[in-house]
Structure 1
Amino acid sequence: MRKMTLTGLVFLVGLIATVQAVNLPQEVGTEVCCELQESASACLLPGEEEGTCRTASAESDECSTYVEISCTENAERCYKVSARNATGSVEECTVQNGVSLIPIWAGESIFTDWGYFGDSGPNQWGLGTGFELCGDGMEQSPINVIESNATAASISASIGDVAQHDNSLFEITQENYAPKYTCVQEGECGFVDWDDERFFLVQFHMHAMSENGVNGKSYPLEVHFVHSTEEGRLLVLGVLIETTADANSVVDPILNSTSVACDGGDECTVNFNPSQLYDAESGVWNWAGSLTTPPCSEEVTWFLQQNIAQVGYSQWQNYWDHIGGFPGNARPWQPLNSRQVVSITPAQSAPTPTPNPTEEQTEEDSDVCFPANAQVELSDGRAVRMDELQYGDHVRVKSGNTADAFSTVYFFGHRDSNKVAKFVRISLDDSELTVSPLHYVYVQAGSKMIPAAQVRVGDMMIDGAGHTHEVMDVRRVQELGVFNPHTEHGDIYVNNMKASSYTALVPPHLAHILLAPVRMIFSAFEKRALGSMFHADCPKWLRQMSIMTQSAQ
């Protein structure tokens, strides 16, 4: 059989990407025609060295009026096709410029290597023999999960309720220029129990950027843990990942520069525990989907973890550089069609009221702060991280550019760069605010102050320019650093969103009164070291004074 040259292959696939549709050759009388557009066909008589350009008549199956098909890129490049005649031999067909083309061989995919860009990209996958579902399937993955449209499941479960994975040995190989981690001891790397079946972990791999999205947002990385029953039914557990400044030691064995480039053999094995990457306490979104790479087989059960995992930026960069950078290896979102996304969440305990400020409060509740990577705007226009903010800095506390839009930081309730704490991440339409659950933020376009834990999807928040933003997602995360700067005004804009210096531990009006002496001393002496005098014991001190004040009322 004749072989396709690499140059010919690239040129051929580029042609197919140019035309609106390419159908299989059809016999019309003694001619063989390949449809190029809705009304244009290139037809060939067996034995001719060059085809002619025609339009297909709407009234009959015959090719009729001769017309010239215009060039699409420049005067030297026109539409070109190849066709197989009635006897089965391949004839090369060109359109009006005398340049022949390597033909499409019957029974072969037009791709020897599918990819993610241009001529071999996802929009072309469905043209390959055996890949038809990539173009015609009705239950394709990945998808964009719209949380507000998801149906609540009739059961409650977390990932840990249905999944069990242990430290196991995986072999690293390269598939389409990206690492794949295959379970060495089949059936021994973990499983997911779902719908009365046990799905065993077969392999896992990654995509950058993420393939699935949530509320229109993509993430830097996504891991797919691919599971299979003994009969071959598939379940994929996807984990969305964001990057942080600090490396995640758990994933270093699979994301260091050596591992991502490894390609088989005894030296390309790694011990890894998948349960250390996913969150066993997280819920999932569930839908019926497909493989996200050719042949795009359907009837795949999908779980997408609702909580977001983290890796270090340098670890993500190792993977990104290895796969060649832009455009990455992510298939675009596919239509949901008639499918329903189901939200499966862990069993929730009975809701509890906002806690009173007592000594019995947990350490987690007392961490009423922002993480180290949160940013504030200074009066000189600079944006600085919380761990760079200093006593005496003037930060934005109001929208607009008036003289009172900035206020002085005179005190830190917490200031610890090394502590890891739990936060609420509030994702808006074009920004994010991460804050501890009991810290006050403003909703209803800045008119109402509530603890961050009570923020809900659909609430409206306000930015430093006075514009409102809709809350698209709210979830619990872990972040590094705890910082609670107090301004003389009482409010503070963090990540350009309006928040308060105060928390639900102490009523804001009472906290403002209790801190009045500190503000007076700071204003009188302007000693930045003043804040450190109160720093260590301040949360306890404020709670005690609040209790005493409330008891006296």
Structure 2
Amino acid sequence: MKKNWRVCLSSMFAIFLVVSATGCNSQPATSKTTNTSSSTISNAHAVVQKSPHWSYEGDQGPEHWGELEQDFAACGNGQEQSPVNIEHTHLEASHTQQPLQVHYTTAKASILNNGHTIQINTAGPGNTIVVDGTRYTLKQFHFHHPSEHQIDGKNAEMELHFVHQSDNGRTAVLGVLIQRGTENKAFNSIWSKLPKDTTSQDAALEEGINLASLLPKDLHSVRYNGSLTTPPCTEHVNWTILEQPIKMSADQISRFATIFPDNHRPVQQLGARELTADK
């Protein structure tokens, strides 16, 4: 009996030592906070997230966005999602669609790498577009590699998105496809400041940006109702895709691709939506 008592006491002492050691080595749990508001355009690529809770690959990639958070549900079950494949055989000529009006000037701007793209924030209310009678003010523009929208099943090298908001909170995005070609000097002031790593805040660009020079001369467009192409994939976004692309040199494209090898969402089903073209 005395021997069994000593064995029991020895075992209890060993267990006590293990529990004590485990408690000393444990780390306190950390919590992550994210901004998932779907009501403001500032969250479309705008929030810098040190530990991004969505990405363009793996378990947090586009096919899983709708599962990651309740606020992202539209990414998985939305009926009017973007981007789409613009097939010319599906284009319908609109007799009521008004020509796109672009009122862009030279603007002060700042640049950041938000972990998902390079974003340029513009200051002031002076740069606007008018889409079918509604005026939208430019808030920011950013880039995707390769393009998100397809033309007849083919992606362009890159795509540029100008994100706007109306006075009543509606969102309109102007998309410009980028093909490989000659150097585009209009982007030199931006490309000279491309942040390679995620930045905690945007940095002012010394030179103002001539926004009109970033667009092609021909503003004929295709329009459709869609969504943001990043979480939360909010719908009721007015999309305008210019038919004429702009060009960038292979070096310019490569410099962006080095930072973001692939930051595009695959095309979504068009469904019953119409693709309307200018007359």
Shorter-chain TM-score: what band? 0.7 to 0.9
* Residue 144 to residue 290, structure 1, CA distance change in 2 (3 Å): same
Say yes or no: does 1:123 pair with 2:59: no
SS at the partner of 1:338? coil
Number of matched pairs: 231
Matched, 1:237 2:174: yes
Distance 1:196 1:221, change over 3 A: same
Q: 1:202 aligns with which of 131, 139, 155?
A: 139
- Alignment of 1:183 onto 2:118: no
Establish whether residue 219 from structure 1 lines up as the match of residue 133 from structure 2.
no
Describe the SS at the equivalent of 1:209.
coil
Q: Aligned partners of 2:97 and 2:270: how far apart in 1?
A: 24
Partner Cα distance (1:266, 1:222) in 2: 23
Is the aligned partner of 1:139 residue 2:80?
yes
Which position in structure 1 is the counterpart of 2:4?
A: none
* Separation in 2, partners of 1:168, 1:116: 31
Does the CA contact (< 8 Å) of 1:172 and 1:269 recur in 2?
no
Aligned equivalent of 1:397: none
In 2, the alpha carbon distance for the partners of 1:169 and 1:139 equals 34
Aligned to 2:270, the other structure's residue is in SS state coil
- The SS at the match of 1:259 is coil
- Structure 1 position 290 matched with structure 2 position 227: yes
Conserved in 1, the CA contact under 8 Å of 2:55 and 2:116?
no
320, 334, 345: which one pairs with 2:257? 320
Q: Output one character per residue of 1:385-404: Cα deviation in whole Å (capped at 9) or x when no partner.
A: xxxxxxxxxxxxxxxxxxxx
- One-letter identity of the residue aligned with 1:133: A
Contact persistence 1:158–1:281 (CA under 8 A)? no
Per chain length, whose mean CA-contact separation is higher, i.e. which structure has more relative contact order (CA < 8 Å, sep 6+)? 2
Match of 1:251, SS? helix
Of residues 240, 248, 259 in structure 1, which corresponds to 2:194?
259
Aligned residue for 1:163, secondary structure, equals strand
Contact (CA 8 Å) 1:241, 1:309: kept in 2 or not?
yes
Q: 1:148 aligns with which of 89, 106, 112?
A: 89
> Would the aligned equivalents of 1:179 and 1:261 in 2 still touch at CA under 8 Å?
no
Q: CA deviation at 1:276?
A: 1.1
Letter in 2 for 1:340: E
Do 1:144 and 1:216's aligned partners in 2 also have CA atoms closer than 8 Å? Answer: yes
State the Cα distance separating 1:282 from its structure 2 match. Answer: 2.7
Aligned counterparts of 1:169 and 1:229: Cα–Cα separation in 2 = 20
Q: SS of 1:239's equivalent?
A: strand
2: CA distance between counterparts of 1:158 and 1:240? Answer: 19
Checking the alignment, whether the CA contact within 8 Å between 1:178 and 1:260 is kept in structure 2 is: no
CA deviations 1:172-198 (Å, max 9, x no partner) are: 11222421101122x12x111123321
Letter in structure 2 aligned against 1:234? T
Amino acid of the structure 1 residue aligned with 2:243: Q
Q: 2:267 matched to which residue of 1?
A: 333
CA distance in 2 between counterparts of 1:177 and 1:290 reads 17
Cα offset, 1:248, TM superposition:
1.2
Report the CA distance between 1:320 and its aligned residue.
Answer: 0.7
Cα distance between partner residues in 1 of 2:247 and 2:31: 44
Letter paired with 1:120:
Q
Give a deviation string over 1:442-478, Cα, whole Å, max 9, x none.
xxxxxxxxxxxxxxxxxxxxxxxxxxxxxxxxxxxxx
Provide runs of 4+ in structure 1 moved above 6 Å: none
Give the drift of 1:171. Answer: 0.9
In terms of fraction of residues, the more strand-rich structure is: 1
The offset of 1:215, in angstroms, is: 0.4
Greater fraction of residues in helix = 2
Take 1:311 and 1:271, find their aligned partners in 2: how far apart are those partners?
Answer: 20
Distance 1:241 1:266 in 2: 25
Retained in 2: the 8 A contact 1:260–1:319?
no
Instruction: Tell me the secondary structure at the aligned position of residue 285 of structure 1.
Output: strand
TM-superposed CA distance for 1:205, in Å, is 0.2
1:113 is aligned to: 53
User: In structure 2, what is the equivalent of residue 424 of structure 1?
Assistant: none
Residue in 1 that maps onto 2:184: 248
Question: Which residue pairs with 1:31 in the alignment?
Answer: none
- Provide the C-alpha distance between the structure 2 equivalents of 1:278 and 1:168, rounded to a whole number of angstroms: 15
Deviation at 1:112, TM superposition (A): 4.4
> What CA distance in whole angstroms lies between the structure 1 residues aligned with 2:87 and 2:54?
29
> Structure 1 residues 236, 267: closer, same or farther in 2, change over 3 A?
closer
Structure 1 distance, partners of 2:98, 2:235, is: 25
Cα separation, partners in 2 of 1:114 and 1:268, compared to 1, 3 Å: farther
Deviation per CA, 1:322-348: give whole Å up to 9, x if none: 12x2xx100000001110100114xxx
The 5 A counterparts of 1:116-515 are 116-129=56-69, 130-155=71-96, 158-159=99-100, 162-185=101-124, 187-188=125-126, 190-244=127-181, 246-256=182-192, 258-261=193-196, 263=199, 264=201, 266-268=203-205, 270-323=207-260, 325=261, 328-345=262-279
Q: How far apart are residue 4 of structure 1 and its match? A: 6.9
Residue 270 (structure 1) shift: 4.7
Q: Give the secondary-structure state (helix, strand or coil) at the position aligned to 1:228.
A: strand
Aligned-residue sequence identity (percent) comes to 28
Structure 2 SS opposite 1:202: strand
CA distance in 1, matches of 2:196, 2:139: 20
Indicate if the aligned counterparts of 2:97 and 2:132 stay in contact, CA closer than 8 A: no
Q: CA deviation at 1:269?
A: 5.3
Gaps of at least 5 residues in structure 1 are 6-110, 346-553
Q: Quick one: distance in 2 between partners of 1:214 and 1:322?
A: 25
Residue identity matched to 1:134: C
Q: Tell me how far 1:279 sits from its aligned partner.
A: 2.2
SS at match of 2:56: coil
- Superposed CA deviations along residues 1-48 of structure 1, whole A, max 9, x for unmatched, are 95479xxxxxxxxxxxxxxxxxxxxxxxxxxxxxxxxxxxxxxxxxxx
CA–CA distance in 2 between the matches of 1:260 and 1:276? 22
Contact 2:116/2:263, CA 8 A, preserved across alignment: no
**SS of 1:210 mapped into structure 2:** coil
